[in-house]
Copies of this chain bind each other. A is one copy, B any other.
């Protein structure tokens, strides 16, 4: 039997709650489609940090390297500064495994409503292709004149030609499988070194894809467009920071953060890819059984897709839609009274 080795890092807060449900649904899908998933759990988390001073062991990255994929819950916990938890786990993994694409599809699922007035589901479907390995998230920089009147901090953004070109190319390839439209998020009017460079490469790559309509839009105008004319957007390619902002906004105007999955993808498959929900660890509701597991389950279907189990991914998506459409089993954020576990089970059973 085809067997996939999956590393799972439930992490913190509701990450733990929702990962269990994603595993349950995936195991059911695997049984149905004739393959198996062998799960190995890792305790990398803020809890681990509190106990040991490190989010993961020194060979933490190496331990994951042999797996076919990684399913990540969420990281973050009060008392552990965010930049510690993220730069100690999430960001190093994204980089070590060259997961340079962060793919964030959103759409309005059945049984959910948009915060936008008068929008139909087919007007609210898009995907953010976020650069995931460089850009505004950088360790270069620091503080000068600490404690002096002239104190200041510097933060370096770094964009390489290789890094920009590969993410833009990915977005055009993706657009060929969808609407054949790519919109690039820029800010070359205000940010004058990196963003004109980004635009320049975008134009070069666009010229190779004559069959795809390419446009550029400043990040401020693009955020406005996402609420005013979301129907005119499909594939959006964006830097690390812009992609982060746009994908939360896109999730908010479609079904909400509880429904948005994310894949950290290594397209060349030289290292494992990693799948997670867009939402965070929400410590305030952790362990209460009220977290919505849908985003995590959809992230798991992106993992199935990536593993080549396209049929199984399709069944899970259909099961999610069916359960949401019926609306009988729904967590509080969806207007129901079901627990995380009940919703996970309902989706597994709907398969």
Contact = CB atoms under 8 A, between A and B. Distances in A.
A241 to B, nearest CB: 7
A342 to B, nearest CB: 25
A94 to B, nearest CB: 11
Interface in A152-166: 152-162
Given A154-B158, A156-B154, A143 B83 contact: no
Contacts of A248: 220-221, 223-224
Copies of the protein in its oligomer? 2
Interface string A241-274: 1001101110111001100000000000000000
A139 B220 CA distance: 20
A115 interface: yes
Contact of A157 (B150, B157, B160): B157
A157 B159 contact: no
B223 A189 contact: no
Contact of A142 (B117, B149, B193): B193
A247 B190 CA distance: 15
Interface in A109-123: 113-118
Interface string A180-205: 00000001111111111100000000
Contacts of A224: 248-249, 251-252, 257
A170 interface: no
Interface string A81-102: 1110111000100000000000
Shortest 6 CB-CB distances between A and B: which pairs?
A82-B189, A224-B252, A141-B193, A220-B248, A117-B117, A151-B161
Interface of A: 76, 81-83, 85-87, 91, 113-118, 136-137, 139-143, 149-162, 187-197, 218-221, 223-225, 227-228, 240-241, 244-245, 247-249, 251-253, 256-257
11 contacts: A83-B192, A87-B192, A116-B227, A136-B190, A139-B192, A141-B193, A152-B159, A220-B247, A223-B223, A224-B251, A224-B257
